[in-house]
Structure 1
Amino acid sequence: MNCFSIAIDGPSGAGKSTLARSLAKKLGYLYVDTGAIYRTIGYYAWKQGVDPKEEAAVLALLPKVQVELTYGEDGLQHMLLNGEDVTREIRLPEISLYASAVSAHPGVRSFLLDMQRQLARSHHVIMDGRDIGTVVLPDADVKIFLTASAEARTKRRMLELEQRGTPEPYEKILKEIQERDWNDSHRTAAPLRQAEDAVLVDTTDLNFQQSEEALLTIIKEKTGA
């Protein structure tokens, strides 16, 4: 089977996961949230009391980690860590910076690279993250770089946290997003950047429906779907 792969990259809070999940459902593709995979590693480091910036300490954890990606009856991606469903726990605000720090280590990235590529070899996939089009799936059929202003992303994140019952103040979220942007774009291993052949989509002034329509148009033009 000739499998199509769609890579959606961009900074934290740009709407990658929400849009990719919705598009995958419409197109009948498998949705792979790679950020959730790194969050799972970050969550394990947090639970073990390990400094996520200490590469040797994080790599020492990997042989004890079994990460599985499954799909629940709700149709959503669930993350299992050593057999335990940690889908909700990895979304705690403090895990974001842990995920960013552990994902900067080349050893962690290579540990997870095979899992991600195997999914693309065996399914039509929409995969979102920071380096999908540049590193994980450099030959993806469609590459999109999704972005929005830090202020717009902060407002969206505030709303998401309020709906989840874990509200945080605007200034705190903005600072975390700016810090994450800097970390992701300045790390040595696979920094966040737009692939040369990726289509740039800025959703600052677009609502969800408009953003989705923009991405669907690009995908249909590139794949003939």
Structure 2
Amino acid sequence: MAGVHLRHILLDLLPSSDMTKQRRELGIQHHLEKIVADLWAINAVIRDATMRAGTQPDAEMWMADAGVAIADVQNLLDRILEWPGRAAAPSNPLLRSCLSIRVAFRLSVLQELKEMGLRLKELVRRGSALDLRKEMMDAMDPCDEEYSDVLGDEAVVRDEDRDNIIEMLQQKQSSSDGEPFVIVIHDEVLWSGKTTLARMIYHHPWVRQHFQHRIWVDVSIAYLSIQ
């Protein structure tokens, strides 16, 4: 579950317009970005750590500590999103008090970001010491231009496989009346490259434009839920 929560942070919470607005208003863009690189580094190895946790105590302990750290990051981000901002400022006689509250909240957030940064860097160091295997695509922000280039280089699937599934999604969307649905990519569709194919669909420009909610779940098969 830690991996699911981490991807929610990286793919949903951090890029959201509400978060962008709040971090600009609080002036914490630079400080927040400092922890993002470590979050992606953890995301790159969390799949391998999950598989090894059942048989390797050190990996299991790493996963437990990562789960706690990820939960703390999400709690802080939720508080940032809930901060009412300047729009909720009281009338002028109380403005100074309002500004003091904003400054105090910002300082509290900055302190927590600093402490979290240290915890995350330690997790990255421990993961490296455990020789956790990195998933290249899990280490990259899909919004980066380089992502699509690397994904294209990694792909061992045919373009028609991707296009056929996109066409199926377009048909499903037009008849679903907003109901959530699940796309499962399994061996009958393609005997190799299932995860890469799922990534190509999940981050496809049409999918990102037309679906407000996309959920990636790691199981024994490449699986994504789109609604």
TM-score band w.r.t. shorter chain: under 0.3
User: Normalization by structure 2: what TM-score?
Assistant: 0.26
User: Normalization by structure 1: what TM-score?
Assistant: 0.27
Choose between structure 1 and 2: higher helix proportion: 2
Q: Which structure has the larger Rg?
A: 2
